[in-house]
């Protein structure tokens, strides 16, 4: 097998990137796929979500930053379960912007995953809420990108600019990068503006928009508290995302 690499991204905070990436990794692993989740956000929230650690100190100098500098993620992979592995991030990841090594800075992640890409079915990448070198690396390394869309005006405004970033990644080393789809998240059906923006995004981007819409749900929000293991609300927290995963699998081609 060769992993299908999927990035979850938008240059906007609070759109559900980390939660959706983490839930996707967990649900795919629960279905029997072997999954590697990579945290490319220096906030380390995906690391916290999957590992269950609030403190990132246990990962000091064993993160994706060191993996990028070393040129191989393998020595830095942590195990959450038999099928779910992850590479952590912490605040020092931002220093990768100062990298001055022998290969282009934008291709560090692609090189780092090369030696493990045949060991996984999926590699899922969480990104920061900006168009940083971390996001560029994720796009250059990926087969697909899931564009995260909170049903709010600023998120809507960010999508055309992010589309330009995808085009930039295609023009600068990853011509085969595909858009898996636009996922609407944090939607409140009681709010007219949410409903109007959802209809607008469907009208403009048509079949690119996933049929699944992720609502605001307390159990999903509390995943950061209870995590994926021994979570009394797990079924309620993952119910809608299971529909998304089915749709995602129908849209991406496994290698």
- Tell me the per-residue pLDDT of 10-25, one tens digit each, with 9 for 90 and over: 998 888 899 999 999 9
Residue 179 placed within a domain: yes
Which residue has better confidence, 229 or 137? Answer: 137
Query: For 105, what's the count of Cα atoms within 13 Å in the CB-facing half-sphere?
Result: 13
Residue 254 placed within a domain: no
Q: Give pLDDT, residue 234.
A: 67
Residue 255 placed within a domain: no
> Do you know the residue count of the chain?
255
Of 173, 178, 114, 172, give the one whose Cα is nearest residue 146. 178
Instruction: Please compute the mean of the pLDDT values over residues 207-226 and round it to a whole number.
Output: 78
Q: Give pLDDT, residue 13.
A: 84
**85 pLDDT band (50/70/90 cuts)?**
very high
- Tell me the per-residue pLDDT of 120-142, one tens digit each, with 9 for 90 and over: 999 999 999 999 999 999 999 99
Q: Give pLDDT, residue 221.
A: 65
* CATH code for the domain in which residue 239 is found: 3.40.50.300
Q: Give pLDDT, residue 215.
A: 82
Q: How many helices (H) and strands (E) does the chain have?
A: 10, 8
Give, for 64, the enclosing helix (H) or strand (E). Answer: helix 64-70
The total of structural domains in the chain comes to 1
Give 176-212 as a 3 state SS string.
Answer: CCEEEEEEEEEECCCCHHHHHHHHHHHHHHHHHEEEE
What is the extent of the structural domain holding 27? Answer: 4-249
Counting residues of the chain whose pLDDT is more than 90, the rounded percentage is 73
């Amino acid at each position: 097998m060769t992993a299908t690499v999927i990035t979850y991204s938008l240059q906007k905070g609070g759109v559900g990137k980390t939660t959706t990436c983490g839930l996707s990794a967990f649900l795919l692993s629960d279905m029997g796929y072997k999954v590697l989740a990579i945290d490319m956000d220096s906030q380390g929230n995906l690391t916290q979500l999957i590992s269950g650690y609030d403190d990132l100190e246990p990962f000091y100098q064993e993160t994706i930053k060191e993996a990028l500098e070393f040129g191989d993620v393998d020595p830095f992979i942590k195990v959450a379960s038999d099928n779910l592995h992850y590479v952590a991030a912490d605040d020092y990841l931002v220093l990768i912007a100062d990298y001055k090594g022998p290969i282009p800075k934008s291709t560090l992640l692609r090189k780092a995953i090369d030696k493990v890409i045949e060991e996984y079915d999926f590699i899922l990448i969480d990104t920061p809420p900006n168009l940083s070198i971390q996001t560029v690396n994720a796009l250059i390394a990926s087969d697909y990108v899931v564009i995260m869309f909170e049903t709010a005006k600023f998120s809507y405004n960010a999508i055309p600019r992010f589309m330009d970033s995808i085009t930039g990644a295609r023009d600068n080393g990853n011509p085969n990068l595909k858009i898996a789809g636009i996922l609407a998240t944090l939607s409140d059906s009681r709010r007219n503006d949410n409903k109007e923006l959802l209809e607008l995004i469907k009208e403009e981007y048509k079949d690119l928009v996933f049929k699944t819409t992720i609502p605001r749900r307390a159990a999903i929000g509390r995943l950061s508290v209870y995590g994926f293991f021994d979570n009394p609300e797990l079924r309620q927290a993952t119910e809608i995302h299971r529909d998304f995963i089915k749709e995602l699998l129908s849209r991406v081609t496994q290698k």
